[in-house]
Amino acid sequence: MATGAGGRLRIAGSAALLLLLTTVGVRTYLQSAPADRGSSALRTVVYIPPGKGVQSIARQLRESGVIHSAWAFLALAYLEGSLKRLQSGEYELSPEMSLREILQKLEAGRVVTHQVTIPEGFTADDVAALLASEQLVERPHFMALVNDAGFAKKLGVSAPALEGYLFPDTYRLTRGMGEEEILRVMVTRFRQALPPDFQTRADRLGLGLHGMVTLASLIEKEAVLDEERPLISAVFHNRLRRNMPLQSDPTAIYGAPGGKRRIRAVDLQRKSPYNTYLNLGLPPGPIANPGLASLLAAIQPSRVNFLYFVAKNDSSHAFSRTLEQHARAVRLYQGAGAKSRQDSSS
């Protein structure tokens, strides 16, 4: 029997309505269905590298046990218009989450953040090791950038390397930021932490910004007590004015293999441009990344005429004006074993 135009319209309308209802039903089911009904509720951390396509993402989620069906995930991504909106990064996901919840999390880029604290006095290599342990950087690439004068210039640092400019602080970082971005964040924090007149005061004291950061790094490695930082700063400033070697122990082992150890007498003779026992003036650059207290002490030395200090083995130091006073302090606090170092500032 022939079907009239009106009948064909009714059939077409019914088919369209059925398709619409089917689509809505599938979407509703996919949106609310748990990703994997048979899995435990344990959270899984999944890292999606940059540039990964939606099909690869779906397979990765399936292989990680977060979703049961890659096809269902792709179908919902298509229906939601999310195929090209999923973001890379590290995500904490659970099989109990619905497919839509997972999809929305990946669209919004709600990635895992790592709270990392960089202590005062860490070297750049220490920072690299810590970040690498959190899988936030590749250590060799991080250090290559630290020692790249061209990259330092891009970050506004007029120095051959970024040692000294990676400000010690607590950072919230995400995997996938990359070494360049993390270094940019740390250098920016360094710049924000400096007092507005730091450069002016550094120039007035004749050291300039880089020299003052270098001096602050020596203070950081020598001082334990905050109240002694300006005194240690004064010793170094006084020695620089008198053209005396700074004789700072930490400079003697900077960059040496196994440098994290007690300094020995033989270290003081190690040939290195950083060794202030063998070279006059400041080292060519910082030996660590100083905190704010040491940076402030560098530009605000105490008004004293001390030229020497020696550790008292209780975190404090004995300060002296003359070599004779210093020799007595060395014998008192360090014993006969320190005789060969009694002309040292530390």
Quote the crossing angle between the two packed helices 70-79 and 99-108, to the nearest 10°: 60
Same domain, 101 and 118: no
**Rounded-to-integer distance, Cα 114 and Cα 173, Å:** 5
Secondary structure (3-state) at 254: coil
Residues 213 and 79 in one domain: no
Q: How far apart are CA 194 and CA 204, in angstroms?
A: 16
Residue 35, domain member (yes or no): no
> Which residues contact residue 186 at a Cβ distance below 8 angstroms, ignoring those fewer than 6 apart?
118, 127, 165, 166, 167, 169, 171
- Report the pLDDT value the prediction gives residue 184, as an integer from 0 to 100: 98
Measure the N-to-C terminal CA separation of the chain; round to a whole number of Å: 109
Tokens 């880089």 correspond to what residue? Answer: 210
CB atoms within 10 A of CB 250: 20
At 159, give phi and psi (nearest 5°): -155, 160
- 202 plus 336 within the same structural domain: yes
Query: Residue 20 above 60 pLDDT?
Result: no
Q: Tell me, yes or no, whether 59 and 172 share the same domain.
A: no
Whether residue 241 sits in one domain with residue 310: yes
Residue 24 confidence (pLDDT): 45
- Let me know whether 67 and 156 are in one domain: no
Instruction: State the residue for tokens 């089911």.
Output: 29
Tokens of 22: 């089917």
Residue count (the chain): 346
Domain shared by 280 and 218, yes or no: yes
For residue 85, being part of any structural domain is answered with yes
Q: For residue range 135-190, list pLDDT tens digits in order.
A: 999 999 999 999 999 999 999 999 999 999 999 999 999 998 999 999 999 999 99
Could you write out the DSSP letters of every residue in 187-233?
Answer: HHHHHHHS-TTHHHHHHHTTSHHHHHHHHHHHHHHH-SSGGGHHHHH
CATH of the domain at 58: 3.30.1490.480
Closest to 60 measured CA to CA, from 81, 85, 86, 79: 86
Distance between CA 131 and CA 179 in Å, rounded?
10
The answer as to whether 15 is a domain residue is no
Determine which of 6-15, 84-93, 257-266, 275-284 has the lowest per-residue pLDDT on average. Answer: 6-15
Q: Is residue 276 part of a domain?
A: yes
Q: Are residues 168 and 189 in the same domain?
A: yes
Residues 130 and 107 grouped into a single domain? no
Domain boundary among 167, 193, 219: 193
Domain total in the chain:
3
Same-domain check for residues 205 and 326: yes
- The confidence score (pLDDT) of residue 334 equals 84
| Average pLDDT across the chain, whole number | 87
In angstroms, rounded to a whole number, what is the distance separating the alpha carbons of residues 275 and 218? 12
Ranges of H-type helices in the chain? 5-32, 54-63, 70-79, 99-108, 124-133, 139-146, 149-154, 179-193, 198-204, 208-222, 229-241, 249-252, 292-299, 323-333
pLDDT of residue 312: 93
Domain endpoint, select from 61, 81, 111? 111
Task: Report how far residue 242's alpha carbon sits from residue 236's, in angstroms, rounded to the nearest whole number.
Answer: 10
Residues 286 and 322 in one domain: yes
Identify whether 296 is part of a domain.
yes
Q: How many CB atoms lie within 10 A of CB 99?
A: 26
Answer yes or no: is pLDDT of 339 > 50. Answer: no
The angle at the Cα of 12, spanning 9 to 17, to the nearest 5 degrees, equals 120
For tokens 């396509």, name the residue: 53
Whether 300 is covered by a domain: the verdict is yes
Q: Are residues 177 and 149 in the same domain?
A: yes
8 A C-beta contact, residue 103 and residue 73: yes
Give CA torsion, residues 234, 238, 244, 247, to 10 deg.
Answer: 0
User: Considering 193, 227, 245, which residue would you say is the last residue of a domain?
Assistant: 193
286 occurs within a structural domain? yes
Percent of the chain with pLDDT over 90: 77
Residue range of the domain that includes 219: 198-341
Residue 33 in domain: no
In this prediction, residue 41 has a pLDDT band, given cuts at 50, 70 and 90, of low
pLDDT band (50, 70, 90) for residue 299: very high
Would you place residue 132 in the very low, low, confident or very high pLDDT band (cuts 50, 70, 90)? very high
